[in-house]
Structure 1
Amino acid sequence: MNTTIIGLDKKETENLTVSLNDLLANFQVYYQSLRGLHWNIKGKSFFELHVKFEEFYTDSQEKIDLIAERILTLGGTPLHTFGDYSKLAKVPVGKNVTNDVEAVSLVVNSLSELLKIERNILNESDEANDEGTNSMMSDFIAEQEKTIWMLNAWLN
């Protein structure tokens, strides 16, 4: 039998779990950067950005769980070590960022990297007829594109 229990091609599903683990690792690094931004932001935008970064990391935490559960649904094992996350990270790491413009730019750059990974997964999941993953990626992409637009409006 060349299909999974949910009726998807096994090889395509294995490839998707690798890609989803890549996304999971990058979301974990992004999440941790958001925590740092939340804790360390300073200046006149403190109150506004402190709350916004909390909103972003809470949302990211939910997405991390959705990604891991999708990997499990597809029969894979979600990565769960910092070593694995660090090896796969493409998103920029924010360390000791306190400046508002630098912080918001870091979020925009991170989301741009996540979008690249998500669009690749969207194409992969489409080819695999994996509507569950496809729908999740579509939702993530639409939301993150809007967030980038709003953050760029703040930057300008």
Structure 2
Amino acid sequence: MTLNTIGLDQKKTKDIANDLNGLLANFQVYYQNLRGIHWNIKGKRFFDLHVKFEELYTDANLKVDEIAERILTLGETPLHTFDDYIKAAKVPVGKNISQDEKAVRLIVDSLSELLKLERQILNKTDEAGDEGTNSMMSDFITEQEKTVWMMKAWLSETV
């Protein structure tokens, strides 16, 4: 087994970085979805949702940077083109969504996809002893589970 400069198995970190690139691509699509619904939301709930969507896309933008920097920390190169993002993303693309319930549903569906990816990465990082990535995934999961709960409550649905 060959260790990299941060003491992790190079083969395992390459695999983790590949999964993080998939997460990065999905976060970029999620981020762009949030921008779109922020810009296009209409209706009586406009003021509340416009602010909430801005809060969410600001957070997503920070997470995109954290993921990319973690990929670099692991010795790999983060994806950085829209073409790469679209090819790798599983998050649904929201286009021309202006209705409040459709916008919130898009967020729930997107976060559900992100959570699946993050849990897969969490399991791999645990096995690899990659505490840095593991901690990041754990923090993301905790935040996103709460956001899903809140969005589902707004939709009058249960988790």
Which TM-score tier does this pair reach, normalised by the shorter chain? over 0.9
Give the drift of 1:90.
Answer: 0.3
- Look up the match of 1:75: 75
The equivalent residue for 2:54 is 54
Matched residue count: 156
List per-residue Cα deviations over 1:7-45 (Å, max 9, x = no partner). Answer: 000000000000000000000000000000000000011
Match of 2:108 in 1: 108
Residue 27 of structure 2 is matched in structure 1 by 27
Give CA-to-partner distance per residue, 1:68-102, whole Å, 9 cap, x none.
00000000000000000000110011100000000
1:132 paired residue number: 132
Deviation at 1:60?
Answer: 0.2
Q: What TM-score do you get using the length of structure 1 for normalisation?
A: 0.99
Cα distance in 2 for partners of 1:61, 1:108 equals 18
What residue in structure 2 maps to residue 93 of structure 1? 93
Give the C-alpha shift of residue 150 in structure 1.
0.5
Percent identity for Structure 1 against Structure 2: 71
Distance (Å, rounded) in 1 between the aligned partners of 2:19 and 2:76: 11
1:18 alignment partner in structure 2: 18
Q: For 2:137 and 2:109, locate their aligned partners in 1 and report how far apart those are by CA, in whole Å.
A: 18
Name the TM-score, length of structure 2 as normaliser: 0.97
Kindly state the Cα deviation for residue 142 of structure 1 after the two structures are TM-superposed: 0.3
Q: Structure 1 CA distance, aligned partners of 2:92 and 2:52?
A: 19
Partner residue, 2:142: 142
Give the match for residue 155 of structure 2: 155
Could you tell me how far apart the structure 2 residues matched to 1:151 and 1:47 are? 16
Structure 1 gaps, min length 5: none
Counterpart for residue 8 of structure 1: 8
Query: Match of 1:81, as an amino acid?
Result: T
